[in-house]
Amino acid sequence: MVNESDVVEALKTVIDPEIGLDVINLGLVYELKIQDDVIYIKMTMTTPGCPLTAWILADAENKLRKIPGVKDVRIDLVWDPPWSVDRISEEARRLLGL
């Protein structure tokens, strides 16, 4: 059975190469659900014009599929609400000097 902590840990290895931080601490993941060992994620990018969107989404999907028991991964890219620096975790703020 897939659990949320395994999903979060996997997503913490998905790094936005432009910023150098993971998608969890950047606050890019808006929603995470697991149903019948299928992972459903709603996430965004720091900007709609992010040149690495496809790479980040593919990296997230590949890492999530490696979790034992995962049957499928569905990632929905959303732009509402728009991402802002307010979504960055306290840990990431320290690393960025914010």
Domain CATH for 35? 3.30.300.130
Q: Is residue 11 part of a domain?
A: yes
pTM of the model: 0.92
The Cα 56–Cα 3 span in angstroms is 22
Q: Is residue 18 part of a domain?
A: yes
Q: Is residue 89 part of a domain?
A: no
The count of structural domains within the chain is 1
Q: Is residue 13 part of a domain?
A: yes
Q: Is residue 87 part of a domain?
A: no
Which of 11, 34, 18, 17 lies closest to 89 in space, CA to CA?
Answer: 11
Residue 64: give the domain boundaries: 4-81
Q: Is residue 94 part of a domain?
A: no
pLDDT bin (cut points 50, 70, 90) of residue 95 is confident
| Residue 28 contacts residue 52 (beta carbons within 8 Å) | no
Q: What is the mean pLDDT of the chain?
A: 95
26-69 pLDDT, tens per residue? 999 999 999 999 999 999 999 999 999 999 999 999 999 999 99
Q: Is residue 30 part of a domain?
A: yes
Q: Is residue 93 part of a domain?
A: no
Q: Which two tokens stand for residue 16?
A: 């936005």
